[in-house]
Amino acid sequence: MESQVQQPGNNSQSLLTNSGTTRRAIKDKATRVGVSIGGTMVFVALLLIFFYLLYVIKPVFDGASIKESTVVTEHSDISTAKTLMIGSDEQNQVLYKVSSTGHVQFYDVNSGSLISSFAPSLPQGTSVVSSSKSMPSQQMFALGLSNGQAMVFGIKFGVSYPNNVRTITPEVSYPAGEEPITIDSNGEPLTNLAFSLGEDKISFAYLTPTNQWRIERLEGEENMMTEEIEWTPESALVEDAPIHVSKVMITPDQRQLLLKTTDKVFIYNINYLDELSLLQVLNLEINDTKVSDVELLAGASSLIVSYDSGLISQYFQVNSDKGRLYQPIRSFDDIAPVGAMATEFYRKSFAVISPEGQLTLLYTTSQRELLSEKFDIPQAKALSFNPRSNGLVVESQGKLHLFAVNNPHPEVSWSALWEKVWYEGYPEPKYVWQSTSGSDDFEAKLSLMPLAFGTMKAAFYAMLFAVPIAIAGAIYTAYFMSSTVRGFIKPTIEIMEALPTVILGFLAGLWLAPLIEENLPGIVMLLIALPVSILVSAFSWSKLPIRWKQRLPDVYQELMLIPVICFVGWLSFALSPTIELAFFGGDTRAFITNELGITFDQRNALVVGIAMGFAVIPTIFSIAEDAIFSVPRHLSNGSLALGATQWQTLTRVVLLTASPGIFSAVMMGLGRAVGETMIVLMATGNTAILEWSVFEGMRTLAANIAVEMPESAIGSSHYRVLFLAAFVLFIFTFFFNTIAEVVRQRLREKYSSL
pLDDT band at 653 (very low <50, low <70, confident <90, very high): confident
**Once rounded to an integer, what is the mean pLDDT over residues 136-150?**
92
- What is the model's pLDDT at position 43? 87
- What is the model's pLDDT at position 2? 46
- The answer on pLDDT for 24 being more than 90 is no
In the chain, CATH 1.10.3720 sits at: 449-698
Q: Which residues, other chains included, contact 551 with Cβ-Cβ below 8 Å and sequence gap of 6+?
A: none
Q: In what order do the strands lie in the sheet with 368-374?
A: 340-343, 349-353, 358-363, 368-374
User: Distance (Å, rounded) from C-alpha 189 to C-alpha 209?
Assistant: 7
- What is the model's pLDDT at position 89? 93
Terminal CA-to-CA distance of the chain, rounded, Å? Answer: 61
Which amino acid, residue 462?
Answer: A
- The answer on pLDDT for 366 being more than 70 is yes
**Once rounded to an integer, what is the mean pLDDT over residues 542-560?**
73
- What is the model's pLDDT at position 5? 47
Phi, psi (degrees; rounded to nearest 5) at 750: -70, -40
User: Distance (Å, rounded) from C-alpha 271 to C-alpha 277?
Assistant: 10
- The answer on pLDDT for 3 being more than 60 is no
* pTM score, whole prediction: 0.85
CB 471 within 8 A of CB 620: yes
**Once rounded to an integer, what is the mean pLDDT over residues 29-44?**
89
Query: What CATH architecture applies to the domain 449-698?
Result: Orthogonal Bundle (1.10)
CB 286 within 8 A of CB 333: no
Query: Dihedral of CA 349/353/376/246: which sign?
Result: positive
**Once rounded to an integer, what is the mean pLDDT over residues 61-83?**
82
Region at 98 (left for phi over 0; alpha for psi -120 to 50; beta for the rest) = beta
CB 670 within 8 A of CB 424: no
User: With 0-12 CB in 10 A as exposed, 13-18 as middle and 19+ as buried, what is 515?
Assistant: middle
CA-to-CA dists, residue 542 to 538, 549, 550, 565, angstroms:
6, 9, 12, 18
User: Distance (Å, rounded) from C-alpha 349 to C-alpha 413?
Assistant: 14
- What is the model's pLDDT at position 645? 83
Spatial CA neighbour of 139 closest among 320, 477, 384: 384
CA-to-CA dists, residue 467 to 459, 678, 708, 744, angstroms:
11, 21, 31, 17
User: Distance (Å, rounded) from C-alpha 398 to C-alpha 381?
Assistant: 9
- The answer on pLDDT for 102 being more than 70 is yes
228-247 b/e (C-beta count within 10 Å ≥ 16 → b)? eeebeeeebebeebbeebeb
Q: Tens of pLDDT along 484-499?
A: 888 888 888 888 888 8
- The answer on pLDDT for 656 being more than 90 is no
Q: Tens of pLDDT along 399-456?
A: 999 999 999 999 898 889 999 999 998 889 999 998 887 666 678 899 999 999 999 9
- What is the model's pLDDT at position 587? 85
User: Distance (Å, rounded) from C-alpha 302 to C-alpha 423?
Assistant: 10
> DSSP for 603-650?
S-HHHHHHHHHHHHHHHHHHHHHHHHHTS-HHHHHHHHHTT--HHHHI
CB 203 within 8 A of CB 223: no
Q: Which residues, other chains included, contact 152 with Cβ-Cβ below 8 Å and sequence gap of 6+?
A: 140, 141, 142, 174, 175, 176, 181, 195, 197, 202
User: Distance (Å, rounded) from C-alpha 402 to C-alpha 71?
Assistant: 6
- What is the model's pLDDT at position 55? 92
